[in-house]
């Protein structure tokens, strides 16, 4: 029962996604009402510390790896993509 309560509190059973969707809704409403020229609200602003709990900060090394894998996935969608074009024999 304690594990089920922890899963519920951490969002495995819905709370985390509900909080995130409420943050999206609140930031959307605030962005609709904000004056022109003001900085748009982001989801993490209405959620505050809950955002950092749901999405822990990524280390700089992991961030670079994530950017590289995203770029590679984007480039692989191009017709005739060749992984060795950029000098990496293994495509990495």
Residues 7 and 52 in one domain: yes
Residues 52 and 73 in one domain: no
Residues 21 and 50 in one domain: yes
Question: pLDDT value at position 14?
Answer: 64
Q: Answer whether residue 88 shows pLDDT above 70.
A: no
Question: pLDDT value at position 57?
Answer: 84
Per residue in 63-82, pLDDT tens?
Answer: 888 888 888 888 888 888 77
pTM of the model: 0.50
3-state SS, one letter per residue, for the chain: CHHHHHHHHHCCCCHHHHHHHHHHHHHHHHHHHCCCCCCCCCCHHHHCHHHHHHCCCCCHHHHHHHHHHHHHHHHHCCCCCCHHHHCCCCCC
Residues 2 and 42 in one domain: yes
Per residue in 12-48, pLDDT tens?
Answer: 556 777 788 888 889 999 999 999 899 999 988 888 8
Which domain, by its residues, includes 71?
58-92
> How many domains does the chain divide into?
2
Residues 74 and 39 in one domain: no
| Residue 60 CA neighbour count, 13 Å, CB half | 0
């Amino acid at each position: 029962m304690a594990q089920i309560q922890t899963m519920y509190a951490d969002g495995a059973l819905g709370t985390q996604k509900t909080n995130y969707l409420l943050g999206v809704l609140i930031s959307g409403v605030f962005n609709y009402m904000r004056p022109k020229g003001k900085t748009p609200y982001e989801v993490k602003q209405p959620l505050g510390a809950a955002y950092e709990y749901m999405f822990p900060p990524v280390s700089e090394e992991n961030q670079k790896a994530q950017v590289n894998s995203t770029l590679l996935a984007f480039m692989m969608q191009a017709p005739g993509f060749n992984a060795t074009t950029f000098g990496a024999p293994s495509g990495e």
